[in-house]
Chains A and B, each alone.
Chain A
Amino acid sequence: MPTSEDYESQVPAWCPGCGNFQILSTLKQALVELGIEPWEVLLVSGIGQSGKLPHYMKCHTFNGLHGRTLPVATAAKLANHSLHVIAVAGDGDCYGEGGNHFLHTIRKNPNITLLVHDNQIYGLTKGQASPTTARGTHTKIQPYGVPSEPLNPLAMAISLDCSFVARGFAGDREHLKELMKAAITHNGFSLLDILQPCVTFNKVNTFKWYRDRVYKLEDNYDPYNRVKAFERSLEWGDKIPNGIFYKNDKETLEEMVPTIHKEPLVRQKFSIEDVKHEIEKFY
Chain B
Amino acid sequence: MSRIRGGHNFYQIRFSDLEVSASRDMVDILLALDLNTIEIHKKSVRDDGIILYDSRTIKKKFEGPEFIDVPFKKIALDIGKSSIMANTVAIGAVLGLLDLGLDTLTEILKSTFKKKGEEVIEKNVACAEAGYNYVISNCPRCETVKIREPEEKKLLLIDGLQAIGMGALISGCKFYSAYPMTPSTGILNYLASKAEEYGLVVEQAEDEIAAINMAIGASFAGVRAMTGSSGGGFALMGEGLSLAGITETPIVIAEVQRPGPATGLPTRTEQADLLFILYAGHGEFPRVIFEPGTPKQAFYLTNRAFELAEKYQIPVFIQSDQYLGDSEWTFENFDFEHLIYNDYRLREKDLEEVEEYKRYKYSDTGISLLAVPGESGKHLVVADSDEHDEEGHIIEDAETRIKMVRKRLQKKLPLIKSEIEAPLLYGDPSPEIVLMGHGSTYGVIKEMVDILSKDRKIAMMHFSQVYPLPERDRFDYIELLENAKLAISIENNATGQFAKLIRAETGFEFTHQILKFDGRPFTIENLKEEVDAYL
**Chain A residues engaging chain B, CB cutoff 8 angstroms:** 10, 37-40, 42, 44, 47, 52, 54-55, 58-65, 68, 70-80, 82-83, 100-101, 103-104, 257-260, 265-266, 268, 270-272, 274-276, 278-279, 282-283
Interface residues of B in 189-226 (CB under 8 A from A): 194-196, 198-201, 203, 205-207, 209-211, 213-218, 220-223, 225
Q: Which residues of A contact B42 (CB under 8 A)?
A: none
Provide the residues of chain A in CB contact with B200, threshold 8 Å: 259
Within 8 A of A (CB), among B140-177: 154-158, 162, 166, 169-170, 172, 174-175, 177
For the complex, what is the distance from the CA of A44 to the CA of B383, rounded to whole Å? 10
Let me know if B339 is at the binding interface, CB within 8 A: yes
Contact (Cβ within 8 A) A259 B380:
no
Taking CB atoms, residues of chain A closer than 8 Å to B155 are: 283
Determine whether the beta carbon of A76 is less than 8 Å from that of B384: no
Measured between alpha carbons, how far is A76 from B207 in the docked complex, in Å? 17
Give B contacts to A, CB under 8 Å. 154-158, 162, 166, 169-170, 172, 174-175, 177, 194-196, 198-201, 203, 205-207, 209-211, 213-218, 220-223, 225, 239-240, 243, 247, 334, 336, 339, 341, 372-374, 376-386, 392-394
B209 touches A272 (CB 8 A): no
Can you list 22 contacts pairing A with B, beta carbon distance less than 8 Å? A39-B377, A39-B379, A52-B394, A54-B382, A60-B381, A62-B247, A64-B213, A75-B215, A75-B216, A75-B217, A78-B201, A79-B175, A80-B221, A83-B373, A101-B206, A257-B201, A259-B200, A266-B223, A270-B172, A272-B172, A278-B169, A278-B194
Those 9 A-B pairs whose CB atoms lie nearest each other, nearest first:
A75-B217, A72-B217, A79-B221, A104-B206, A71-B213, A75-B214, A60-B373, A71-B210, A266-B222
Contacts of B382 in A (CB 8 A): 54-55, 60-61, 63
Contact: B199 with A259, CB < 8 Å? yes
A142 smallest CB distance to B (angstroms): 26
Asked whether A278 and B379 contact (CB < 8 A) given A62-B220, A79-B222, the answer is no
Q: Report chain A residues within 8 Å CB of B216.
A: 64, 72, 75
Q: Which residues of B contact A47 (CB under 8 A)?
A: 385
Nearest residue (CB) in B for A44 is B217
Contacts A258-B196, A266-B222 given; does A72 touch B393 at CB 8 Å: no
* Assembled-state Cα–Cα distance A260/B177 (Å): 16
Q: Which of B205, B239, B334, B378 contacts A279 (CB 8 A)?
A: B334
Could you say which residues of chain B place their CB within 8 Å of the CB of A278? 166, 169-170, 194, 198
> Could you tell me if B177 and A75 are in contact, using CB atoms closer than 8 angstroms?
yes
- List 11 additional A-B contacts (Cβ < 8 Å) besides A64-B243, A79-B217: A44-B217, A55-B393, A60-B374, A68-B240, A70-B210, A72-B217, A76-B218, A80-B373, A83-B374, A276-B336, A278-B169
Question: Which partner residue on chain A sits nearest B173 by CB separation?
Answer: A270
Chain B residues in 8 Å Cβ range of A72: 213-214, 216-217, 220
The residue in chain B whose Cβ has the minimal distance to the Cβ of A102 is B206
Minimum distance in angstroms from B378 CB to a CB of chain A: 8
Are A83 and B217 closer than 8 Å at their CB atoms?
A: no
Q: What separation, in Å, do the CA atoms of A60 and B372 have in the docked complex? A: 10
Find chain B residues with CB under 8 A from A101 CB: 206, 209-210
Whether B243 and A274, one on each chain, are in contact in the complex, defined by CB atoms closer than 8 angstroms, is no
Closest-by-CB residue of A relative to B194 is A278
What's the minimum C-beta distance from B41 to chain A, rounded to whole angstroms?
29
Other-chain contact of B206, A77, A78, A100 (Cβ < 8 Å): A100
Tell me, in angstroms, the Cα distance from A64 to B213 when the chains sit together.
9
Q: Which residue of A lies closest to B345 (CB)?
A: A266
Q: Is the CB of B196 within 8 A of A259?
A: yes
Contact A272 B339 (CB under 8 A): yes
Residues of the B chain whose Cβ atoms lie less than 8 Å from the Cβ of A80: 221-222, 372-374
Contact, CB under 8 Å: B210 / A100: yes
Decide if A78 touches B175 in the complex (CB within 8 Å). yes
Given contacts A61-B383, A272-B339, A282-B162, contact A82 B374 (CB under 8 A): yes
Alpha-carbon distance between A62 and B382 when the two chains are bound, in angstroms: 6
Q: How far is the CA of A32 from the CA of B341 in the complex (A)?
A: 40
